């Protein structure tokens, strides 16, 4: 027995991520694409994913300095964008030393940049709040901010960046409103621009501009409510475990915490080593799909911290050790997420520390 004897693991198909990155590039052929690898590459392992893409990716995007330095330390030399910029003025020295590109989204960050004494010119992308209303400068303030940074001797590259609130709803009028407000902010200035997340990469060519920022699509999940008809994305994560116990329950017997599921017939139950502490969603209802030895079945009973239970009725040939896919190529993570009232982004980023990541196609 060793620490990895529990059968739960996530297989990460690095070839699928490369394939999906190429799809992002094919949809926006005139743009460069920053592969978004924040949050440990949406749970897929940031270092392994960045290394797998390093030969072809135009750059990477992360949420914070720690994530960027982890990539630099592992040998990634490409551009790395800090999507939220720095959180304190002393981080700018590290941005300088590591040659990072940073978003500047507020007055405080701008003042830190002006007061910095970097050894090389800083690369700053000005965040425009075109309608998401979390961070960024108002479109009407862009001209002044751009001029102020442009006049600073130690600021080099200047870009403009914004983020869509509803790009996953193609045709929604708010998308065009944001696009118009972004262009109004730029006021005809030729500024290097980045607007597109995965949804905009796939559905909004007018927003592709200089740099795109695909995230979820790299991991093989459509950003839309339904799979994209033209983009054949390949799921990059297969979360798998195995059956660790089997029992036969009589009609009327309850199963698991709270007896949420009650057998309505003689029921064969399989117990699987995965629970909400591993990132399997606790709110998954009875009926959530799973695959046992490649065959579809359903979750029954409440999700526990370390175990779930599923319906093996009629599957007489499966038993202890039979592999179970929680999501991956047979069971879409999007489908599991939808059943549990969440999104695949949350499932992926919620993968627990106990889950071994096995990287294939290195």
223 or 235: CB nearest ligand PLP? 223
Instruction: Tell me the closest approach of the beta carbon of residue 252 to ligand PLP, in angstroms.
Output: 46
- Residue 279's Cβ-count burial label (10 Å; 0-12, 13-18, 19+) is buried
Check binding of 146 to ligand PLP (CB under 6 A): no
Check binding of 162 to ligand PLP (CB under 6 A): no
Residues 288-307 that bind ligand PLP (CB under 6 A): none
DSSP classification of residue 355: S
Is 134 annotated to bind a ligand? Reply is yes
62 or 152: CB nearest ligand PLP? 62
Number of residues lying near ligand PLP (CB under 6 A): 11
Check binding of 79 to ligand PLP (CB under 6 A): no
The H or E element containing residue 53 is helix 46-53
Is 18 annotated to bind a ligand? Reply is no
Residues 172-201 that bind ligand PLP (CB under 6 A): 197-198
In 3-state terms, the chain is what percent helix, strand and coil (to 5)? 30, 25, 45
Check binding of 136 to ligand PLP (CB under 6 A): no
Check binding of 163 to ligand PLP (CB under 6 A): yes
Residues 20-49 that bind ligand PLP (CB under 6 A): 36, 38
79 or 213: CB nearest ligand PLP? 213
Member of 139, 223, 281, 301 binding ligand PLP (CB under 6 A): 223
Q: State the DSSP string of 140-192.
A: GGHHHHHHHHHT-TTEEEEEEE---SSTTSTT-HHHHHHHHHHHHHHTT---E
145 or 324: CB nearest ligand PLP? 145
Instruction: Tell me the closest approach of the beta carbon of residue 277 to ligand PLP, in angstroms.
Output: 25
Member of 216, 291, 334, 336 binding ligand PLP (CB under 6 A): 216
∠ CA 47-53-55, nearest 5°, is: 120
Member of 28, 37, 76, 83 binding ligand PLP (CB under 6 A): 83
Segment interacting with ligand PLP, rule: CB under 6 A, options 87-95, 209-217, 280-288, 292-300: 209-217
Instruction: Count CB neighbours of 242 within 10 A.
Output: 19
Measured distance CA(169)–CA(175) in Å, rounded: 8
In sequence order, the 6+-apart residues with CB closer than 8 A to the CB of 205 are 28
Member of 213, 268, 302, 359 binding ligand PLP (CB under 6 A): 213
DSSP classification of residue 35: E
Measured distance CA(105)–CA(29) in Å, rounded: 28
Q: Is 342 helix (H, G, I), strand (E, B) or coil?
A: coil
In sequence order, the 6+-apart residues with CB closer than 8 A to the CB of 343 are 334, 337
Measured distance CA(234)–CA(338) in Å, rounded: 19
- Residue 23's Cβ-count burial label (10 Å; 0-12, 13-18, 19+) is buried
Is 257 among the residues known to form the active site?
Answer: yes
Check binding of 344 to ligand PLP (CB under 6 A): no
159 or 215: CB nearest ligand PLP? 215
33 or 249: CB nearest ligand PLP? 33
Catalytic-role residue among 21, 25, 38, 280 = 38
Q: Write out the catalytic residue numbers.
A: 38, 257
Footprint of ligand PLP (CB under 6 A): 36, 38, 83, 163, 197-198, 213-216, 223
Q: Which residues carry a binding-site annotation?
A: 134, 305
Q: Which residues carry a binding-site annotation for substrate?
A: 134, 305
């Amino acid at each position: 027995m060793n620490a990895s004897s529990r059968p739960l693991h996530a297989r990460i198909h690095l070839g699928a991520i490369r394939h999906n990155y190429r799809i992002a590039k094919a949809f926006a052929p005139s743009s460069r694409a920053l592969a978004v690898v924040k949050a440990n590459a949406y749970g897929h392992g940031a270092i392994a994913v960045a290394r797998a893409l390093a030969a072809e990716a135009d750059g990477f995007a992360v949420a914070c300095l720690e994530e960027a330095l982890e990539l630099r330390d592992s040998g990634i030399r490409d551009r790395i964008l800090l999507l939220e910029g720095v959180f304190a003025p002393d981080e700018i020295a590290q941005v300088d030393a590591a040659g990072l590109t940073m978003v500047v989204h507020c007055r405080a960050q701008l003042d830190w940049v002006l007061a910095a004494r970097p050894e090389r010119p800083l690369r700053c992308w000005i965040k425009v709040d075109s309608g998401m209303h979390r961070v960024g400068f108002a479109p009407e303030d862009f001209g002044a901010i751009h001029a102020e940074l442009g006049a600073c001797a130690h600021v080099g590259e200047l870009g403009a960046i914004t983020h869509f609130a509803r790009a996953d709803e193609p045709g929604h009028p708010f998308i065009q409103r944001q696009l118009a407000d972004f262009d109004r902010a730029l006021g005809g200035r030729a500024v290097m621009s980045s607007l597109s997340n995965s949804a905009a990469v796939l559905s909004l060519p007018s927003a592709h501009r200089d740099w795109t920022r695909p995230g979820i699509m790299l991991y093989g999940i459509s950003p839309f409510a339904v799979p994209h008809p033209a983009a054949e994305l390949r799921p990059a994560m297969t979360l798998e475990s195995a059956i660790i116990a089997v029992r036969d329950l009589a009609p009327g017997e309850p199963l698991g915490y709270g007896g949420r599921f009650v057998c309505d017939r003689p029921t064969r139950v399989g117990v699987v080593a995965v629970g909400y502490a591993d990132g399997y969603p606790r709110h998954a209802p009875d009926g959530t799909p799973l695959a046992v030895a490649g065959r579809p079945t359903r979750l029954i009973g409440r999700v526990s911290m370390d175990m779930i239970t599923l319906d093996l009725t009629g599957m007489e040939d499966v038993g202890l050790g039979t592999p179970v896919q929680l999501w991956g190529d047979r069971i879409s993570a999007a489908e599991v997420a939808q059943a549990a009232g969440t999104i695949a982004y949350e499932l992926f980023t919620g993968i627990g520390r106990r889950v071994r990541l096995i990287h294939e196609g290195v």
